[in-house]
Amino acid sequence: MAWPTLPSPPSLDSIISVADRALRSVFAPAQASRPLPAAGAAPDLTEAERRESGALMRVNHTGEVAAQALYHGQAFAARSESTRALLLKAAREESDHLAWCEARLSELQSRTSILNPLWYAGSFTIGAIAAAFGDRASLGFGSETERQVEGHIDAHLARLPARDFRSRSILEAMRADDIAHGAAARAAGGAELPAPARSLMKHTSRVMTHTAYWI
C-alpha cells in the first residue's frame, strides 16, 4: 500500500460544498429520493417493543450518519473524478437511509442520537484519511465498511421485535443498497484491506453503535 499523501489544496468551492453537506447531514431533516420501503399500517407494539425498536433504529440512523460522512470525507480527498462521483452517488443513497430511519424513529416516538455531529466529524476525518492512501485503498475501505454494515444490519434484523415489520422492511432495503455500494466499490478497483485495518474499523464502529443505543 502506498504512503498517504495529501490531495492538492482544496478550492473554496470544495470547502463550501463540504460544509454544506456536513450541515445538511447533521442538522437538516434528510430528504428521501425514494419512498419509505415500509408497507402497511404501523404495527401495534408493546411499550417495551417500541423502546427496543427505537433504540435499534437510533443506532441504525447514527450508522447512516457515519456512512454518509465517510463517503463525504472520501469524496473530498478522492484523486479521480470517477471515484468521487461513485462515492457521492453512494452518499446520496445513504441520505435515503437517513430519511427512512428518521421517519421510522418518529413513528416510534423516539429520537436521533445527540452525538451525531461528533460521529459525522470523526467519520469524515477517517474517510479523508482513507482517501489519502489513494483511490484503490479508499474504495477498498468503502467495500469493507459496507461488508461490516451488512453484518450489523443482519444482527439487528435478528434483534428487532418480531412484530415490527415496518422497521424490518426499512433495514432490508438499506441492506440491499449497502451490498450494492460494496460491490460497486470492488468493481471500481477497491483493494482488500489488511486485517489490522479491518479490525480497527470493527472496534471503532462498535464504540459508536453501543453508545448510540443509549444516547
Q: Which residues bind Fe ion (CB under 5 A)?
A: 67, 94, 97, 174, 178, 181
Nearest alpha-carbon partner for 151 in 88, 103, 201: 201
**Which is closer to Fe ion, CB of 57 or CB of 67?**
67
Let me know: does 1 contact 137? Beta carbons within 8 Å: yes
Q: How far is the CB of 163 from Fe ion (least distance, A)?
A: 24
**160 phi/psi in degrees, rounded to 5:** -60, 145
For the bound state, the minimum distance from the C-beta of residue 11 to Fe ion, rounded and expressed in Å, comes to 27
CB of 129 to Fe ion, least distance (A): 19
* Minimum distance of Fe ion from residue 48's CB (angstroms): 27
Query: Which of 132, 195, 162 has its CA nearest to residue 49?
Result: 162
- Residue 14 cell numbers, joined: 470544495
**Cβ proximity to Fe ion, 66 vs 137, nearer residue:** 66
Which CB atom, from 16 or from 176, has the smaller least distance to Fe ion?
A: 176
Helix (H, G, I), strand (E, B) or coil at 127: helix
Closest distance of CB 186 from Fe ion, Å: 13
- A 10 A CB-CB count for 78 gives 24
Compare residues 152 and 166 and give the one whose CB is closer to Fe ion: 152
For the chain, state the CA radius of gyration.
17
Closer residue to Fe ion (CB): 45 or 101 = 101
In one letter, which amino acid is 68? Answer: Q
CB-based contacts of 163, cutoff 8 Å, min separation 6: 43, 44, 45, 49
